[in-house]
Amino acid sequence: MYWVDSGDVWRYIEPKIEMSAMDGTGRVILVASALRQPLGIAVFHPPGATEGYVYWTDRSRKVLERATLSGSNRTVLASTCVCVCVCVCVCQAIFHLIFHLPPTSPTSPPSCDWVPGTC
């Protein structure tokens, strides 16, 4: 299983992306550098491929990134978002980003949108 740990600035816990077996054994930190507030995460392993990818969003940096399932070959896929990326899902090499859009006025609620792309 794969997950993001957004860290805790008050307890000096750095954010990271980790993985382990389903029973919690074999815990490994995949990515621990240049993260501020990782939130959304998705894993995609195409059928028949030798390697898959883990995708994540970083709310503070407003980027979508990916790395191989071993944590290598880290790549920024999107970095021009003016809103806040909160979620990513991947299906057949097409990613969908869920964005939290700030309110348009002090009395309007925040909204969400999604943007499809290929990777």
User: What b-and-e string marks burial along 25-35, b requiring 16 or more CB atoms within 10 Å of the CB?
Assistant: eeeeebbeeeb
19 or 97, which is more confident? 19
| pLDDT at residue 29 greater than cutoff 60 | yes
CATH number at residue 92: 2.120.10.30
CB 18 within 8 A of CB 28: yes
- In this prediction, residue 23 has a pLDDT band, given cuts at 50, 70 and 90, of very high
State which residues form the domain around 24: 2-118
Whole-angstrom distance, CA of residue 30 vs CA of residue 70: 7
Indicate the number of domains in the chain. Answer: 1
CB 16 within 8 A of CB 6: no
Averaged pLDDT, 25-42: 91
61 HSE (CA, 13 A, CB side)? 20
104 or 47, which is more confident? 47
Q: What is the pTM of this model?
A: 0.73
Q: For 16-20, 77-81, 94-98, which range has the lowest pLDDT when averaged over its residues?
A: 94-98
Beta bridge partners of 113: 99
Residue 95 is given by DSSP the state E
